[in-house]
Structure 1
């Protein structure tokens, strides 16, 4: 077997005007020079994002098919594996802020991304959204509001995900519940005979079959760090995914997957099973449904490795790390935040004083 080819992200693209490194301009298909303004188009092919046959890939243990090499810096504090472009002068983990030493980088194999959703927001857009969100927080420390203005605390990160497609065939057995109503008589508290309409459920045994194509089951390919990306912002428009081009990575950090393909596949099967259960419930109909047994088969399974964009702002307050996430495509924001003890203390004290003042004023 021939030696694997070095991943193209390792090849820096220099500006033809001044020699500086070109970086991707979010929301465009261009790479630009921050020093002289020179721009170049990213050449995007017309071919669709490539899906890889899952079974043959797993049987070959991944082999070297569609795999190349990439340089990785591993954070000793939180375990995140990050590929960092060389134009970064100071290197810190995007998750916990721990300093990273470039000389500690190691070369690893990775399954080449099949697709990428490029950043649609630039860093300034992310900072504006972060600042607005922070200013709307009650009881936030003043330090946090100051930190929201510092660009060095906010970095763009491409997150690794697996997507899985499959033709699902299944059979089920269960019960269908249909409502019906009967009139009952009863005596009220005064002994008077009354009637009321009571709902009951008639259950019928049912069996059936389901089938359909499941497209792009999205599975995170990154193990949980100190704080993972919140679910409420982990939504991207996958229709915007472009065929992978290394130029889109220029100027951003890329996290290498730590959940292997076979484990991601097992997680996708569980999600597909839930989809099958939902299809069975729809097929049963009626007012209530119970699925007692469900058997599924997956055929024509394919997968791809994709990269999705977020901005992360790391912040340390009273010896605790906090992270705030901005979706790099749609701008949604979330994160855990610290509370200022003194702001809460004085707010409570003020309320108590006002209550006492009102009490003495209205007291006869």
Structure 2
């Protein structure tokens, strides 16, 4: 394990010109932006390492499978972020406020088991952002100008926990089967007519279900008060790669702030929802009542993984706005400001047009 940690800390300069190598999105290479030299990222031969949950929490302690990294805390918004040595722009990825390198401190983190590398580069994310901004009605001109500057768009790896488990449950409930009866009712015209009414017959049901719950995804940081929109928070986990810090070169990494124990409680809640769904499927019929369920999880494992997004932070009239682009599939979402004057003049123009139409109508 010690050798693995050391390998993740290596800072390899370009063998041709000595410049720092950066990860090339959509590939398994790091490259030199000055001379074009390429190097392939060496991936682990044994794939992802799933960590046993309970032995880790109870026996191995927080230091097992961990390493020390440099962290910077944004004094404006509170975000904790790890910035690779070759990342030149020391500004908070969320609010764009300057970060002071001298304020860096060392902190342990559970070594990521896997990373989903960026599949689109900053240039493509910048184009997606530009297209989105151009489609916004009543956007301030300053926002459109901001969209012309790539420095406002930064790549960020978000921390997540994933949990696997064997799930078993016993249940009792009722299976509902629909049937229909004809009923005489008075319609809106006062006439008696036949109406088909649905009824339900209930039958007792009980049984057992079992299955494997794979990769329950739980966010591992507060992510600026939950601002990562649900719309973009969907990644193809089949693209996960065994962790290697070379994938982080040129990007910012947010450290988890939600403890593993808390993440596990969230995952257990999701497992209960899955179990209830499986029980209802097992009950069958047209509708179901689940009156009791006894669930157990075994062979629980977890991973700390990193998932990619691009973030653009912009301030307008003293208020902060964020825009997010999924670094794997390019989906975009964000908040946006409105230009008071554009809306005002549009309303005035509409009122003038209406007044002109009314005057012409009267004259005719």
Q: TM-score, structure 2 length as denominator?
A: 0.94
Q: 1:256 to 1:188 in 2, by over 3 A?
A: closer
In the other structure, the counterpart of 2:278 is 279
State the distance in 1 between where 2:192 and 2:17 align: 96
In the other structure, the counterpart of 1:252 is 251
In the other structure, the counterpart of 1:44 is 43
Alignment of 1:95-106 (within 5 A): 95-106=94-105
Q: Does 1:262 align with 2:241?
A: no
The answer to whether the Cα contact below 8 Å between 1:4 and 1:69 also exists between their aligned partners in 2 is: no
In the other structure, the counterpart of 1:17 is 16
State the distance in 1 between where 2:21 and 2:107 align: 25
State the distance in 1 between where 2:60 and 2:258 align: 14
In the other structure, the counterpart of 1:147 is 146
Q: 1:162 to 1:227 in 2, by over 3 A?
A: closer
SS at match of 2:224: coil
Q: 1:184 to 1:71 in 2, by over 3 A?
A: same
The answer to whether the Cα contact below 8 Å between 1:25 and 1:32 also exists between their aligned partners in 2 is: yes
State the distance in 1 between where 2:189 and 2:34 align: 89
State the distance in 1 between where 2:241 and 2:105 align: 28
SS at match of 1:268: helix
The Cα offsets for residues 183-227 of structure 1, whole Å up to 9 and x where unpaired, read as: 112344666443222112222332222111000000000114156
State the distance in 2 between where 1:359 and 1:348 align: 17
The Cα offsets for residues 83-130 of structure 1, whole Å up to 9 and x where unpaired, read as: 111223341110112221111111111110110111111110000000
Deviation at 1:55, TM superposition (A): 0.9
SS at match of 1:59: helix
State the distance in 2 between where 1:205 and 1:152 align: 63
Deviation at 1:264, TM superposition (A): 0.5
SS at match of 1:225: helix
Q: Does 1:120 align with 2:137?
A: no
The answer to whether the Cα contact below 8 Å between 1:233 and 1:334 also exists between their aligned partners in 2 is: yes
The Cα offsets for residues 36-55 of structure 1, whole Å up to 9 and x where unpaired, read as: 11111111233221111111
In the other structure, the counterpart of 2:318 is 319
Deviation at 1:79, TM superposition (A): 2.1
In the other structure, the counterpart of 2:180 is 181
In the other structure, the counterpart of 1:222 is 221
Deviation at 1:56, TM superposition (A): 0.2
Deviation at 1:324, TM superposition (A): 0.5
In the other structure, the counterpart of 1:60 is 59
The Cα offsets for residues 135-189 of structure 1, whole Å up to 9 and x where unpaired, read as: 1111111111111121111111111110000000012222222211111123446
The Cα offsets for residues 18-50 of structure 1, whole Å up to 9 and x where unpaired, read as: 111111111111111111111111112332211
The answer to whether the Cα contact below 8 Å between 1:227 and 1:323 also exists between their aligned partners in 2 is: no
Q: Does 1:336 align with 2:335?
A: yes
The answer to whether the Cα contact below 8 Å between 1:233 and 1:332 also exists between their aligned partners in 2 is: yes
Q: 1:238 to 1:69 in 2, by over 3 A?
A: same
The answer to whether the Cα contact below 8 Å between 2:87 and 2:251 also exists between their aligned partners in 1 is: no
In the other structure, the counterpart of 2:306 is 307
SS at match of 2:117: coil
In the other structure, the counterpart of 2:288 is 289
In the other structure, the counterpart of 2:31 is 32
In the other structure, the counterpart of 1:82 is 81
Q: 1:4 to 1:257 in 2, by over 3 A?
A: farther
Report the number of matched residues: 363
Q: 1:295 to 1:227 in 2, by over 3 A?
A: closer
Q: 1:158 to 1:196 in 2, by over 3 A?
A: same
More moved, 186-195 vs 77-86 = 186-195
